[in-house]
Amino acid sequence: MRLIKIFIIMCITIIMPITGLAVADEIDGYRISSDDQISVTVFNETDLSVNKVRVSGNGAISMPLLGQVAIEGHTLTEVEQKITTLLLEGYLKNPNVTVTITEYRPFYINGEIKKPGSYPYKKNLTIEKAVALAGGFTERASRTTINLVSENDKRIVKPVGLSDKIKPGDVITISESFF
């Protein structure tokens, strides 16, 4: 039995990077929000599973039998526990629920950038990579005065450097250079 568990863990470790599936646990303290896309798998219950469903503006997803389930602000583990609890209430005896992030919400970049707007978040994205996705700096852009507003705390504007990592929902502002 122990060898089987080790084999399964090794397979998951090898297969996850190959498939390109993003796992929210890779981002410390990641909480689901609107515009995230998730998949909910209920083991041996394909009719109750949902694949690639976008979290709505009110922070909920629609699940078969359960209807609207509010998940915004919860971690993957909390969402799994919530759906398991709801399914235990008269639907299934022992549900096995797995929730995965299939696509993170976008980040935003504006200011002195060639193509400002929203862009899909990718794992390990830095300010420099975000600038490249947005077409690069304009001629008047400051490469040192860059501010970031995190979705988690919209009241704090913090200066960042090109090598700093960003998270889904972050807003990056590239300032104008005076010289």
In tens, the pLDDT along 128-145 reads: 999 999 999 999 999 999
The pair of structure tokens assigned to 37 is 């896309």
Give CATH superfamily name and number for 23-103. Answer: wza like domain (3.30.1950.10)
Looking from the CA of 23 toward its CB, the CA atoms found within 13 Å total: 11
How far from chain centre, in Å, is Cα 105? 6
Query: CATH 3.10.560.10: which residues of the chain?
Result: 107-176
Task: Write the CB contacts of 28 (distance below 8 Å, at least 6 apart in sequence).
Answer: none
* Burial track 108-142 (b if 16+ CB lie within 10 A, e otherwise): bbebbbeebeebebeeebebebbbebbeebeeebe
- Give the CATH class of 107-176: alpha beta
pLDDT score at 154: 72
Q: Are 128 and 165 in contact (CB under 8 A)?
A: no
Report the pLDDT value the prediction gives residue 171, as an integer from 0 to 100: 94
Query: What pLDDT is stored for residue 178 in this prediction?
Result: 80
The residue ranges of the chain whose pLDDT is under 70 are: 1-29, 179
Q: What is the predicted pLDDT for the residue at 158?
A: 85
pLDDT of 15: 44
Residue intervals of the chain classified under CATH 3.30.1950.10 are 23-103
pLDDT at position 4, please? 52
CA 2 from chain center: how many Å? Answer: 33
| Model confidence, pTM | 0.74
Counting Cα atoms < 13 Å in the Cβ hemisphere of 155 gives 0
